């Protein structure tokens, strides 16, 4: 049982480049989330989805886009990377009836130069 | 608005007991959560309190007082593997999780 899988684990971008982070879960969870984690700060929600084909903005959505074309996948896109987007990104999922219990992926360390 | 405070770092001795406090201010409340995060790894769920009182789960217990905006995580019989960051989070009135910055717990032999 893989749980939540994120790719890639590490990435270095130049300012202005684009990339997509991939998240897949095999637990049939309805809810999926993208967070960023920065030193000295709590996890901050970027975007989330409550079901296939739906997405919503979180606390810090600017500069990011997401898509959930299939229930098991949640993609996070950076169209034009900026140094301020250097962070560790975590994908998470949860079951609709136990939405408080999040299952996290192993994270993506992104550096934007 | 919402605010969560927890100590940045704590040190404890192997075999001892440690209490990690979390205070919060919020206009809406739907639960208080604790997660454990080892360095370089993903957070993992530890506990969930929605009613006042103590929830015990093995060596770990979590306490909540809604009237005081206060929670703590109690770790007993500390082991070296308990060295990690402990994240406090509250679920607000919109069922969104608001996270504290985490408490780094260092266990010494």
Nearest-CA distance B92 → chain A (Å): 11
Q: Could you count the other beta carbons within 10 Å of the beta carbon of residue A80?
A: 11
Pairing assessment for the beta strands B84-91 and B97-99 based on DSSP bridges: antiparallel
Test A104 with B4 for CB contact under 8 angstroms.
no
d(Cα A70, Cα A15) in Å, to the nearest integer? Answer: 30
**Number of C-alpha atoms within 13 angstroms, CB side, residue B43?**
31
Contact B87 A106 (CB under 8 A): no
Place of tokens 């009135």: B93
Structure tokens at B42: 């993903």
Angle at B84 between CA A99 and CA B29, to 5 degrees: 35
B31 in A contact zone (CB under 8 Å): yes
pLDDT at residue A98, rounded to an integer: 65
The answer to whether B58 faces chain A, any CB pair under 8 Å, is: no
Strand partners, A27: none
Give the tens place of pLDDT for each residue, B52-89.
Answer: 999 999 999 999 999 999 999 999 999 999 999 999 99
Which residues sit opposite A21 in a β-bridge?
A76
pLDDT of residue A5: 95
Residue with tokens 């998240």: A23
Q: Is the link from the previous residue into B59 a cis peptide, with omega within 30 of 0?
A: no
Half-sphere exposure of B103 (CA within 13 A, CB side): 24
Q: Name residue A73's beta-bridge partners.
A: A24
User: What is the DSSP track for B22-40?
Assistant: EEEE-SS-S-EEEEEE-TT
A97 φ/ψ angles, rounded to the nearest 5 degrees = -90, -10
C-alpha R_g of chain A: 13
Whether the CB of A95 is below 8 Å from some CB of chain B: the reply is: no
Q: What is the pLDDT along chain A (113 residues), one digit of tens a residue?
A: 679 999 999 999 999 999 999 999 999 999 999 999 999 888 999 999 999 999 999 999 999 999 999 999 999 999 999 999 999 999 999 987 666 789 999 999 999 99
Can you tell me which residue has the tokens 């560790």?
A: A88
Say how many CB pairs under 8 Å bridge A and B.
Answer: 46
Using CB atoms, which residue from B40, B42, B98 is nearest to A105?
A: B42
């Amino acid at each position: 049982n893989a749980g939540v899988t994120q790719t890639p684990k590490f990435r270095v971008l130049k300012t202005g480049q684009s990339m997509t982070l991939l998240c897949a879960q095999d637990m049939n969870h309805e809810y999926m989330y993208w967070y960023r984690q920065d030193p000295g700060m709590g996890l901050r929600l970027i975007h989330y989805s409550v079901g296939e084909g739906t997405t919503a903005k979180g606390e810090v959505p600017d500069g990011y886009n997401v898509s959930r074309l299939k229930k098991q996948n949640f993609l996070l896109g950076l169209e034009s990377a900026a140094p301020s987007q250097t962070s560790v990104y975590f994908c998470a999922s949860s079951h609709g009836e136990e939405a408080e219990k999040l299952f996290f992926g192993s994270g993506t360390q992104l550096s934007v130069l | 608005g919402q605010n969560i405070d927890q100590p940045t770092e704590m040190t404890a001795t192997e075999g001892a007991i440690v209490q990690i406090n979390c205070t919060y201010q919020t206009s809406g409340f739907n639960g208080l959560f604790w997660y454990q995060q080892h360095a370089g790894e993903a957070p993992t769920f530890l506990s969930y309190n929605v009613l006042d009182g103590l929830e015990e789960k093995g060596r770990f217990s979590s306490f909540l007082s809604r009237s005081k905006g206060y929670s703590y995580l109690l770790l007993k019989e500390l082991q070296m593997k308990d060295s990690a960051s402990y994240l406090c989070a509250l679920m607000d009135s919109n069922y969104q999780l608001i996270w504290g910055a985490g408490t780094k717990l260092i266990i010494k032999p």
